[in-house]
């Protein structure tokens, strides 16, 4: 097999990750699910550092879905506490590292301390110009399309010359490139209402590893796999040569 090199041309601009398998990781060790989420946070740190070093423009992480509200209250509360403490602990290093933090999702029902931390993090990192780290909290792809559609119609943007282009300005990811590479850990092969519009042409990489066990080597292999894909965006392109067109 030819060696596929990861170059600026073959590096995805936007990587999105469904960080799945925390609960099963914990259960396999006879631990509470919350312990799996804490271990998952370590993997999250590793992934943020890895993709920032590689030079991707945006990394979007699915940390809490619209559907996750249906989990036992104890687990939901443990997750919120983890998010608050993680933002507090990580913010200085993220800001120092030039990262821009952005949260997407319906945050209206979150505890007020979490909402405050999210706002502070966005404000503190807004002037940075490094990788955009997007944390999806209370996020659902259908929610995103619906909230965009309501405002798009209310603003009369549907009448514009480029309705599809203007619609994207109303999505929560406005200004970010489309997702190039979507990774899901934990062995399931689903999109689970993640970035439905934004991942329309994403390369999908499903790996069996539970999120807390993910390594930089595995992420690197993911980038190499992506670099070997030939993206056609629905068009016909020559097959020989490998890499991206
Ligand atoms: C899915 O695993 C994981 C979550 C719902 C939570 C993800 C949160 C983290 C990794 C912490 C990251 C924190 C920040 C601030 C980004 P699951 O519980 O569905 O696992 P299972 O499928 O094995 O049950």
Considering the domain boundaries, does residue 238 fall inside one?
no
CA distance 74 to 84: 16
- The answer to whether residue 239 is domain-embedded is no
Predicted confidence at residue 9, as pLDDT, reads 82
- Any domain includes 191: yes
Q: How far is CA 211 from the centre of its chain?
A: 13
Lowest average pLDDT, out of 6-15, 59-68, 129-138, 214-223, goes to 6-15
Question: What pLDDT score was predicted for residue 3?
Answer: 59
Q: Please state the atom number of ligand 1 nearest to the C-alpha of residue 210.
A: 23
Residue 6 lies inside a defined structural domain of this protein = no
Closest approach atom of ligand 1 to CA 27: 23
How far apart are alpha carbons 140 and 62 in whole angstroms? Answer: 9
- Total of domains in the chain: 1
4: confidence class by pLDDT, cuts 50, 70, 90: low
Model pLDDT, residue 235: 79
Alpha helices in the chain (DSSP H): 22-27, 33-54, 73-96, 112-125, 141-154, 163-168, 216-228
Q: How confident is the model at residue 158 (pLDDT cuts 50, 70, 90)?
A: confident
In a domain, 242, yes or no: no
Distance 243 CA to ligand 1 centre (A): 32
User: Does residue 197 sit within a domain?
Assistant: yes
Instruction: Write the pLDDT tens digit of every residue in 109-120.
Output: 999 999 999 999
Owning domain of residue 135:
14-228
Least confident among 4-18, 66-80, 106-120, 201-215: 4-18
Task: Give the CATH number for residue 141.
Answer: 3.40.1180.10
**Å from CA of 33 to ligand 1 middle:** 9
Q: Looking at residue 242, what is its pLDDT?
A: 45
Describe the crossing of helices 33-54 and 73-96 by its angle, rounded to 10 degrees. Answer: 30
Q: What is the reported pLDDT for 239?
A: 53
Beta bridge partners of 58: 14, 132
Q: Are strands 181-184 and 14-18 parallel, antiparallel or unpaired?
A: parallel
Residue 86 has pLDDT above 50, yes or no: yes
* Nearest-angstrom CA–CA distance, 119 and 37: 23
- Confidence class of residue 238 from pLDDT cuts 50, 70 and 90? low
2 in a structural domain: no
Give the angle subtended at the CA of 37 by the CAs of 176 and 30, to the nearest 5°.
155
Does 236 map to a domain?
A: no
Residue nearest ligand 1's atom 24 by CA: 23
Question: What is the residue with the minimal CA distance to atom 16 of ligand 1?
Answer: 63
Higher pLDDT, 232 or 207: 207
Q: Which pLDDT value is given to residue 165?
A: 81
Enter the pTM of the model: 0.93
Calpha distance 137→66 (Å, rounded):
8
Using the structure block, give the residue that is written with the tokens 């030039």: 98
- The torsion angles phi and psi of 227, rounded to 5 degrees, stand at -65, -25
Cα of 175 from ligand 1 centre, angstroms: 26
């Amino acid at each position: 097999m030819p060696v596929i090199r990861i170059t600026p041309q073959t590096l995805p601009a936007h990587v999105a990750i469904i960080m799945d398998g925390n609960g099963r990781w914990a259960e396999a060790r006879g631990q509470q699910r919350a312990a799996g989420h804490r271990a998952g946070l370590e993997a999250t740190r590793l992934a943020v550092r890895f993709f920032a070093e590689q030079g991707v423009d945006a990394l979007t992480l699915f940390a809490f879905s619209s559907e996750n509200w249906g989990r036992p209250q104890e687990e939901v509360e443990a997750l919120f506490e983890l998010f608050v403490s993680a933002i507090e602990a990580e913010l200085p290093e993220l800001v120092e590292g030039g990262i821009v933090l952005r949260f997407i999702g319906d945050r209206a029902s979150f505890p007020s301390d979490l909402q405050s931390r999210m706002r502070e993090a966005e404000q503190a990192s807004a002037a940075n110009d490094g990788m955009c780290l997007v944390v999806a909290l209370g996020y659902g792809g259908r929610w995103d399309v619906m909230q965009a559609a309501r405002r798009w119609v209310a603003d009369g943007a549907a009448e514009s010359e480029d309705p599809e282009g203007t619609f994207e300005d109303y999505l929560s990811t406005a200004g970010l490139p489309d997702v190039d590479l979507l990774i899901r850990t934990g062995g399931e092969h689903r999109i689970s209402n993640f970035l439905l519009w934004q991942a329309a042409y994403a390369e999908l990489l499903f790996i069996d590893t539970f999120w807390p066990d993910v390594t930089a080597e595995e992420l690197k292999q993911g980038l190499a796999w992506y670099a070997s894909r030939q993206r056609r965006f629905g068009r016909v392109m020559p097959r020989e040569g490998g890499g991206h067109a």
